[in-house]
Structure formats: C-alpha cells, structure tokens
Amino acid sequence: MAGQVQEAIREFEHIKNKQEVSLCTMMALIYAHKKSSNPDRDAILELDAKMKEHRKTAGQQALYFAGLFLWHLGRQDKAREYVDRMIKVSNGDKEGLILKAWLDVTCGKEAYIKKAVKYFDEAMQEGIDVFALLGKAQYFEVRQNYSGALETVNQIIANFPNFLPAFIKKMKLQLALQDWEQAVETAQRLLQKDALNLEAIRMEVLHYLCREGNITEAAARLGDLIHALEKLEPHNPQLFCKMALAFSRTPASPGQPPSPLLKQCASVLETVVKTVPGLLQAVFLIAKVKYLSGDIEAAHSSLQHCLEQNPSYAEAHLLMAQVFLAQNNFKLCSQSLELCLSYNFEVREHPLYHLIKAQTQKKMGEISEAVKTLRMARSLPGMRRSSASSKSKAKRIEIDACDRVSVFLELVDAHCLNGEQHEAAKVLQDAINEFSGTPEELRVVIANADLALAQGDVEQALTMLRNITPEQPYFVQAKEKMADIYLQYRKDKKLYASCYRDLVEQLPSSHTFLLLGDAYMHIQEPEEAIEVYEQALKKNPKDAALASKIGKALIKTHNYSTAIGYYEAALKSGQQNFLCYDLAELLMKLRQYEKAEKVLQQALDHEPVNELSSLMEDCRYHVLLAKIYSKMEKTNEAIVSLQQAREIQARVLKRVQIEQVDAVPTQKQLAAEICAEIAKLSTAQRNYEKAIKFYREALVHCETDNKVMLELARLYLAQDDTDACQHQCALLLKNDQDNEAATMMMADLMFRKQNYEEAVFHFQQLLECKPDNYATLSRLIDLLRRAGKLEEVPRFFVMAEKHSSRAKLEPGFHYCKGLYLWYTGEPNDALRHFNKARKDSDWGQNAVYNMIEICLNPDNETVGGEVFENLDGDLGNLTEKQESVQLAVRTAEKLLKELKPHTIQGHIQLRIMENYCLMATKQKSNVEQALNTFTEVVVAEKDHIPALLGMATAYMILKQTPRARNQLKRIAKMNWNPIDAEEFEKSWLLLADIYIQSAKYDMAGELLKRCLRHNRSCCKAYEYMGYIMEKEQAYKDAAVNYELAWKYGNQTNPTVGYKLAFNYLKGKRYVDAIDVCHKVLEAHPNYPKIRKEILDKARASLRT
C-alpha cells in the first residue's frame, strides 16, 4: 500500500476467500481501490455489497481482523463496533478485550482511556500477553506515568527477551524521563539484536545532536539512518518524513546569536523594571524577549514572578505554555493553556492558543487532533490579512505574521505525518498565496523545499532556495539548508563549504565567520577552520568562545602548544569559566600534570559561591583535579578532591530539584560517578569497607547503573561474600539479561558453590548469543568436565564454526579444542591444537603451560604415586620408555623459555613449572634441587598449594613417604578454591595413593569422593575406587568404577581397559569383557597379557 496500490490489490485478491481474513481483505480492497489514481467504481460497489453480506455471518476471527484493520486506518468508532460484536460472539475472548483496550487508549478521549487498563488486566488473568502488556505501557505513557510504563516494558523484556518493540518503547520512555544514557544503552542493545533498527539509529543521532553536540558523529549516523530507510522502507515517504522531523527541529547550526534588536529591547526593559518593579507588563515583555533569545530558564523565572503577582494574567499563561512546550513538558503546557482559557475565555479566538495546543498534540502523537486544531486556527478571524477597509466593531485579535505562517507550516507538517501528502501540498500552496510579497514568504519557500526533499526532488528544493537573495530575511537559513542538501544528498563537501563562504562574502560578520569555521570543522578540515576563526577573533578579540573553538581546532591538527597559547590568552581576557576546564583537560592529555593541577587550583581559588552554575563548575573542576591526581599516583589527594566534589554535588542536587528539574537525572548521574570513583580508589588502597559504602551510595543516586552494580559484585566476590555477590548479580541480570560480565560472575559463584549445572547454564546462555567467545568456551569446557558432561562440548565447536567461517583459524578456537582433547585422553591431538595457539598474545602463555604439563605427564598419572607403578602393563621395553620421557622433558624445557610472565604470581608459576621439569627426570640431584626451591616458595608464602604439592611429590620420588604425607595432609585441611582446583585434585589423589598402599581404604575412599565432588570426570579417582573394590573382591562394584574411568578417559587408556575387562570376567560378564579387549587390542595390538589372560578365558567361558 506504500505507493504500490495495484501490487497491493493483487496480493489482497489472493487471500480474499480465506474465511478468517475475508472481511478485512474486502475492506482493504475497497480502501486500495479508493487510493488508486483511477478508482474502479464498479469494483468498489461490488466489494461493498459482498462485505455487507459477509458481515452478517462473520465469525470471531473475521470480526477481530476487521476491527484491527479499521483501527490501523484510524477509524476508531467503526473498529469499536466490530470489536464489541466479536467480544459478544466469543463470550469475552482475550484477544478482543486487548484490542478494545488498545482502541480506548489510543482514541484520545479521557472517558475511554480510563477504562482501558481494566480491559488489559482482565485479559491477562489467563496469563501474560505481550500485546496487553505493551498496551498497559501505552496507557501509562498517555497518563505521563513514564516510570510505570517503564516498569511494564521491563516486565515484557523479562518474559519476551527477543520482542524488539518492547526495547523501542523502553528507549522512548527513557528519553521521556530525560535519561539519555539509559536510552542510548537501550538503543545499542537494540542494534546488537537488529543492526538496521531505524528507531535505535534515530536515537543515536538525536543523542549526538541534542546531548553531545557532536555534529560530525550525528551526520555519520544520520547517513546510516538514511541507508537503513532506503534498504528497509524505500516506498514509505511518510516514514522518511517522520524520521526527518525530529532532526528538522534541532538547531540548524550551533550558536546562532539572537537579534541585536532583542538585546536593545532587553536593555530598555531592564531599566524600566528597575525603576518601576511593579509594572508587570514590562516583566512580561522581558520574559518574551528572553524566550525569543532562547534563554528558556530566564523566561520561565520572569513568568513565574508575573503569575505570582497576578495569577489571572492570561497572556503570561500563554507564553508559559510556550516555555513548557520548548522544555518538552507537555503536561504542564496543557495545564497552562487550560489556566489561560479559564481566566480569559476569549483566548479561544486567538490563533496562537490553537497553535500551541496543536504543537503539544503533535508532540504527544495525537496527529489527527492536531490537524483539527490547526484547521480551527486557520478559520479564526485573526488569521486573515488585515486591510484598510476591514473594520469591525469587535476588538480584532492581533497575531504576528511569524505565528500566522507557523499555523500554515505546522498544518503542512501534520498532514505529512498523517500520510496526507496531497493535503499538505494544498495547504502549502495556500501559504504561498497568503504570504507572497511578505517577509514570511521565505519561510514558506524553505518549507516548500523541505516538502520537495521529502518527495525526493532534490534539484527542485535547491532551485527554490537559490532564489532567496542576501537582501531578503531568512537568507542565512536558506544557505544553511542548501549546504545540508549538498552534504547529505549530493555528498559534495566543496559545495557544502561554498554555501558558507557565500554567506561570509554577502553578510560578513563574526557570526557568519563562525558558521564558516564550524562548517570546515564539520567536514574535517581544521586548518581552514582555524584561519576563519582567527579572522573572526580579530573582529572580536575578547570572545572566549572563539578562543575555545580555535583551541579545539588546533588540538585536531595536533598543534598542542599553539592551542595552549590560545587558551591562556583567552583566560587572561577574564572570561575563563569553561576555558579553565578545557585547558586543564588538554594539559592532562599531554601529561603536563603539574601545569593542569595549577590551572584548576587557580580556578578553585575564590570566595565561597552560592550560584548554582558556579557550584556545578566547581564540582567539575574537583572531579578533573582528582583524575589528574590519579594520573600522578597521588591517590589520597585524588580522594580528598572527590570528597570535596561530592559535598558540592550534594548542594547542587538539593538546588536542581527546585530550580532546574530537567537537570536532575544528569546531576544524579554525576553524583553516582563521583561516589563510584571514590570507591574505585578505595579498592586500590584495599579499603574494601569504604569502597562498598561508596558503591552503595552511587546506587542510591542511580539505582540501575550496571557498571557500579558490577564493581560492587566484584568487591563482594573478592571478600568471599558469595551471597551478597549473588544478590548483586541477580539485580544486574534483572536489569540487563545479556550482561556478559554479570553472567560470567554468576557462573563463577555457582562454580565456587559446586553447583556445576547452574554454572554451565549461565555459560551456555552467553555462548548461544556469541558462539565465538572463546574465553567463555574455555571456562565452559572446564565446567562440563567437572560436571561429568564432556560429551556436550563438541556442539559448541559446531556453533562456533557455523557462526564464523574463520573459526578454525582462530587461536582461541584451537586452545579450546586442545583443552577438550586433553581432558578426553587425546594428548597428542591436544598438543597439536595448543601448538596452533602458542604464538598468540592472548592464548599463547596458557597454551604453553598446558603443553608443558602434557609433555611431563601425557597419560595423566599420579606423579609420585606407587599403587599402579608395578601393576600397569608396559607397552614397550624400559629403555624406550626412558628415552621417551627424556625427550618429553627436553621439549618441556624448550617450551619453558617461551614463557614471559608479567606478574609476581606469573614468575612464581614459571619457577614451579621449571622445577616440575627437574623432577620429571627422576634424578636424585634434580629432585632435591626442586625440593629446595619448593621449600623456599612455601617459606615466602605459607599456604602456596602448587609448591606444597611439589614438595610432597619430591618426597615421594625420594621415597620419603611420611614427609610427603605431612604436606598432603596440610593441603587436605585447606578450603578448596577454583584457582588451585587442579593442585587440590592431584594432592588428594596422591594422599589417597599413600593410604591405599597402607591399606587404609576408608580414608582413601573419603579423599576420592572429595575428588569426584569437585570433578565428576576424574578418571584417576574412579580407577583408585575400582582398585579398592577389587582388593575387597567386590568385582561388580569394581567394574562400575572402572567403567566410569574408561568412559571419562574416552576409552583410550589400555591399563584401565585391561582392569575393566578383568573385572567383567570376574563378574561373569564375558561378552562385555570381550568387547573391551577388542577395543584395547585395536588401539594397542601388542598390549601384553590381555589376549591370553582375559580374551581367551572369556571366549572359553562363553563356550561352556
């Protein structure tokens, strides 16, 4: 239907006989035929007759879809008839109730809106419904209860995390609450889910324009928005127009100065007010001058004074409505209009009253109502041109030509928003006729150019604008509009700049020079901008704002010393307010910390201030000074500066809640940032209680600050307060389900609590969103091993490969693959994959450590253990085995040289690994040397578990079992932690080995159970358990444990296979014994004894 009516008719013809949608399809066909350039009257009459016939017998679904279609067309009353009938037919069907509620909430009539929420709640008694929840949020939004709406939208997101309209609604509500940071964060989340989401891109552009003032970034993102529109909605002019509107309302260029006449007016009026302060008309006119100059806060303050003195001052209420409209406070704007009307009923005859009302309605999305209001305004006597002959006894309402043209142009805009392009063109033609030959004619021309652009006729728009000459008003705006067209539509930077050069040539002034300089900065030509700014500075040498612009331009060209010179010169002129900050910030970036400190201390060296703007400025100075002290590593001074900033900000927060309500969210955010920075510095000083106190205070100011919540959770985790950490993570994940850091931390907590299933669940969530997150995958592989679910790992490799064709080239992928193969008893393949990751900066060090461990212990034996030493079948002669060990040790020693640790703990780890290499030689002198090193480490760090295990292992190799046992008992008494998990497991296994040697099977059994609690894939623990059962002649139980050792070792260890087959034989499970023998012999054909002692006996037993 978006400009392709015939195509739409063909599509509707295909589905018009489907019972559920037949009724709405016929309505759509009638609508399409009427929209056609040459309507088929006969077809319309035939369809109308059929529709009336169908309506008599229409079922529940047909009535529902008909109502839905009529609602989308804006025919509320007709839609209500169908929906009411559908509810009656279906005996109160949920879908019908929800649609009825939507009709009520969007009709704009108070009586209906009140009832809407009741229907939404009634519909949700059967269960949560996304359409109902969204409607409830809409209800709260219409009521301007944005917090309630946001809470409802969060409920939708929690239950339907992939429902994008909820994120869009959330983003808009956050903007309504003036929470720019959260709005932008939501936009970014949206773009992660849908890279071409139009509303999210539009939000980013608005943020850069309105919040950051970053026109360069805004222009770039605006280009992305246009690209997305052209790709997704190429035939939807209404949407293009709607998207353009938000940006057309932002200033055409930064810093346009008010008219000099307004300054003169203000000067005269201020003298009058000082002389006669009770003259309210003068106070009102000052407010009007301030409003026209763009000083909205000052206008608001003057009007408040007027209305306190005379609450029935209708004109003041009308201007106050305009002030509230400029602040986007639609509720207070409507209240001011109502008060104005209540004090002076004649204001209904004033077009300005209707203009403000329509602008409010339009901003609230009530476009149809705005069109009606503007039509009413156009019909009023005040909208007609005055002439000498037109005399009336009645008092004539006077309206500025500026406001008269605004009524026309707002009506054009409203028609465009309503998709009524033809009506918009007609009104615009009326405006051209009405204002031809007047100064306001040019505003109509500019609006006409906008309409031509919306229709895609760029050349026509440029032709209109070229006809505006320098002598005419609005010449500057016309040139700026032309420049934007050249840049946005023609992508021609030269012509863009030439428009501003023409301005300087035709109207040379400091303002036009400033515009030209800004234009050069916009197109990334700072050298030209500096030349122009310098010319402007010559005309006005005391302009500190110009010096700031030159400074920023010089920074862009990396001409820092000249930039500092400009700033210092501007500061000497006495207008230092914002320049001190700029200069100190630049000096900090240049690492000239002492100079930066001096600049800020001079700025703060003044008598106590009470003015709100001065307090805000001082707070910023203190925060920047704290940053500088942090860079200088003066942590105490940084904390003192932040404490001073915090005290000032507390005063600011009290004041803004009364004086600048719109600034409250921004100031709360700053207070939170100050507290968070104090907490961060306190953490660095290991003053954890103070850090926790200030993080909590930060959350009082900004309850949903994810970064602060995350840091607080990390602090709790560092203090081993797992419950507090878990609570914080849960709150964070409630606000942001996709927060990777919080999910990782939650998994860590579950891991510490040995709740492996829950930990695995959190990691799986992350990987399903981002399969190539190899840091998470490596953690998950370890967790799945500990949970005894290594068989689940391969699917994550498949996911990673599907996600990226480059996966098999990624070092992280190879590291994870190596880890999995190592854990499943494939050491040679594991080495191959680790080798592919060993040169990588991120994965290399860990890969090398793992390679060394595999070289030193490829079969994952209990180093120093004696239980299996004489029992394991030998795969070759002793000489070959010794040579193999020596080769492995030499390889490990070579790999050790590649390790380059950067931390103290890293150096200790390297030292321990070097001494494990010495022990692997089994030479007495080397083992004793290693023992001495391990002892030194333990003396320096009492409970260093890897060193204690090293000592115990050395003692076992040296046959000093009691000493080994003492060290291992020390470890057994310690609390398990995830960092030393591997060393704990090895020490428990070695101690169990010692107990088995002494026939202390119960004590060994307890240790082995402990191993399995922390690692359900621990093959060695199952093997020892099997050995104990075998010794106790419980062959069935022994077989169960050997089975698990065989399974978790990936059926690769021939010794475990032999023992399993032997116990199957003893347990008379001959077929199983034969199967295992075949698997062992397939991999190791010369494995001794298994054929003769088990396979042949099992076959013989089967025959008998």
Most confident of 4-8, 32-36, 584-588, 738-742: 584-588
Residue 294: predicted pLDDT = 79
Which residue type is seen at 768? E
Q: What 3-state DSSP class applies to 920?
A: helix
Residue-wise pLDDT tens digits, 465-523: 888 888 777 788 888 889 888 888 888 888 988 998 988 888 887 778 888 888 888 88
Q: Which residues contact 775 (CB under 8 A, 6 or more apart)?
A: 812
* pLDDT on residue 920: 92
- Taking the domain 607-703, which CATH number applies? 1.25.40.10
How many beta carbons lie within 10 A of that of residue 341, not counting itself? 17
Least confident of 113-127, 236-250, 1044-1058: 236-250
Mean pLDDT along residues 446-460: 83
- Helix 878-896 to helix 904-920 angle (10° resolution) is 160
The pLDDT score that the predictor gives to residue 820 is 96
Contact between residue 460 and residue 425 where contact means Cβ atoms under 8 Å apart: no
Q: Rounded to an integer, what distance in angstroms lies between the CA atom of residue 1043 and that of residue 558?
A: 70
pLDDT, position 1028: 95
Report the pLDDT value the prediction gives residue 255, as an integer from 0 to 100: 39
Stretch 1051-1078: mean pLDDT: 93
For residue 696, CA distances in Å to 689, 708, 799 come to 11, 9, 40
Report d(CA 178, CA 666) in Å as an integer.
8
Nearest to 340 by CA among 309, 369, 319: 319
Non-local (6+) Cβ contacts of 363 within 8 A are 325, 328, 330
The domain 1035-1104 having CATH identifier 1.10.3470: the answer here is no
Which range has the worst mean pLDDT, 81-95, 129-143, 247-261? 247-261
Range picked from 453-457, 706-710, 755-759 for highest mean pLDDT? 706-710
Contact 845, 899 (CB under 8 A): yes
Give yes or no for residue 829 having a pLDDT over 70: yes
CA–CA gap between residue 353 and residue 331 (Å, rounded): 15
Q: In the structure, what pLDDT confidence band is assigned to residue 251 with cuts at 50, 70 and 90?
A: very low
Q: Where are the chain's structural domains?
A: 510-605, 607-703, 720-769, 771-856, 860-1015, 1035-1104
**Of residues 390 and 124, which shows the higher confidence score?**
124
- pLDDT given at position 398: 60
User: Looking at residue 264, what is its pLDDT?
Assistant: 63
Question: Across residues 811-824, what is the average pLDDT?
Answer: 95
Better-predicted residue by pLDDT, 491 or 251: 491
The sign of the dihedral angle between the CA atoms of 785, 789, 790, 792 is negative
In the prediction, which pLDDT does 381 show?
A: 78
**Which pTM was predicted?**
0.48
Whole-number pLDDT of residue 940? 87
The predicted pLDDT at position 693 comes to: 94
SS (H, E, C) 959-1009: CCHHHHHHHHHHHHHCCCCCCCHHHHHHHHHHHHHHHHHCCCHHHHHHHHH
Band (pLDDT 50/70/90 cuts) for residue 662 is low
Give the model's pLDDT for residue 578: 64
Residue 125 has pLDDT above 90, yes or no: no
pLDDT digit string (tens) for 285-311? 888 888 887 778 778 878 888 888 888
Task: Provide the percentage of residues in the chain whose pLDDT is more than 90.
Answer: 29
Write out the two tokens for 477: 């705006």
CATH architecture of 860-1015: Alpha Horseshoe (1.25)
Cβ-based neighbour number of residue 891 at 10 Å: 17
pLDDT of residue 256: 46
In a 13 Å sphere around the CA of 864, the CA atoms on its Cβ side amount to 28
Q: What is the architecture, at CATH level 2, of domain 510-605?
A: Alpha Horseshoe (1.25)
When computed from its CA atoms, the radius of gyration of the chain, rounded to whole angstroms, is: 39
Tell me the two tokens of residue 20: 């559920």
Whether 563 and 587 have beta carbons less than 8 Å apart is answered as no
Assign domain 771-856 to a CATH class: mainly alpha
For helices 164-176 and 180-193, angle between their N-to-C axes, nearest 10 degrees: 160
Model pLDDT for residues 1012-1058, shown as the tens digit of each residue: 998 999 999 999 999 999 999 999 999 999 999 999 998 988 999 99
pLDDT of residue 873: 46
Mean pLDDT of the chain: 85
| pLDDT score, position 1079 | 93
**Hey, do 607-703 and 771-856 end up sharing a CATH topology, with the first three levels equal?**
yes
SS3 414: helix
| b/e per residue 283-302 (b: at least 16 CB within 10 A) | bbbbbbbbbbbebbebbbeb
Q: Which residues are within 8 A (CB) of 152 and not within 5 positions of it... i.e. 6 or more apart?
A: 133, 136, 137, 140
- pLDDT at 270 > cutoff 80: no
Which among 495, 536, 494 has a CA at the least distance from the CA of 515?
536
Helix, strand, coil in percent for the chain, rounding step 5 = 75, 0, 25
Q: Cβ–Cβ contacts within 10 Å for residue 876, how many?
A: 10
